[in-house]
Structure 1
Amino acid sequence: MQLHDLAHCRAGDKGTVATLTVVPHDDASYDDLVRVLTADRVRAHLDPWIGGEVVRHELPLISVLQFVCSGVRGGGVTVSTALDTHGKSLSSRLLALELEDVSAARAASRPA
């Protein structure tokens, strides 16, 4: 299962900071995302494009996770001519993250 199976992502960028907001397709998936979609995991997945820290903010009242990614490689959107460092490109790459642990947990919780 990939992240895009559970959520969509909105993005914003300013200089070398990209903000990626992960919104589950349904509120029931929020707890799964809180459990498996850590800042470290996002940082590792986006390592080719993010050189700095990734900070996760939980917004449970609206069932959203927001990741503030600093150190976008290539100088970020305002100076780079490469589309890879734009927030929209990063959000699409994030949605390709494999979430096997969610698939396994959901399968284990289904009645036999």
Structure 2
Amino acid sequence: MKLWEIAHSRTGDKGNISNLSLIVYNMEDFKEVKEKITAEAVKKHFKDIVKGEVIRYELPQLGAFNFVMYDALGGGVTRSLSLDKHGKSLSSFLLNMEI
């Protein structure tokens, strides 16, 4: 099953840091996502994009996670040659993870 079937995501940016939220639709899926979508798994999934550390923060009362990905945007908005300089499409890429 793909992650998008049980969760949704949004992306933000600050300089060369991408910040991804991941929120389950149903709280009953939170435990499975917590076990399978680790910082290490996200780092591996984004291996060609994220050059720095990935840190996961948990918000269990919201059924959510926040992933902060360092060195993830090709130098940031003013330096990146990417078409998606803010990294907004990264949330869709995250949701394509197999779980």
TM over 0.5: yes
Letter in 1 for 2:24: P
Instruction: Describe the SS at the equivalent of 2:32.
Output: helix
Match of 1:106 in 2: none
- Report the TM-score when normalising by structure 2: 0.91
Residue 43 (structure 1) shift: 0.3
The CA distance in 1 between the partners of 2:5 and 2:22, in whole Å, is 12
Bigger Rg, structure 1 or 2: 1
Across the aligned residues of Structure 1 and Structure 2, the Cα RMSD in angstroms comes to 1.4
Following superposition, the deviation at residue 21 of structure 1 comes to 0.4
CA distance in structure 2 between the partners assigned to 1:44 and 1:23 by the alignment? 20
Which residue is equivalent to 1:50? 50
SS of 1:30's partner is helix
Output the CA distance in 1 between the equivalents of 2:20 and 2:50.
12
Verify the 8 A CA contact 2:18 2:73 in the aligned structure 1: no
Corresponding letter in the other structure for 1:38: T
Question: Which AA in structure 1 matches 2:74?
Answer: G
Structure 2 CA distance for aligned equivalents of residues 32 and 78 of structure 1: 38
Structure 1, unmatched stretches of 5+, are 100-112
Offset at 1:89?
A: 1.3
Q: 1 or 2, which has the higher helix percentage?
A: 1
Q: Is the 8 A contact 1:49 1:84 kept in 2?
A: no
> Which structure would you say has the larger RCO, counting Cα contacts within 8 Å and 6 or more residues apart?
2
Aligned pair count? 99
2:75 corresponds to: 75
- 8 A contact 1:14–1:78 mirrored in 2: no
1:79 corresponds to which letter in structure 2?
Answer: R
| TM-score (ref. length: structure 1) | 0.81
Q: Among the aligned pairs, what percent are the same residue?
A: 41
- For the residue of structure 2 that corresponds to 1:66, the secondary structure is strand
Per the alignment, residue 12 of structure 1 pairs with 12
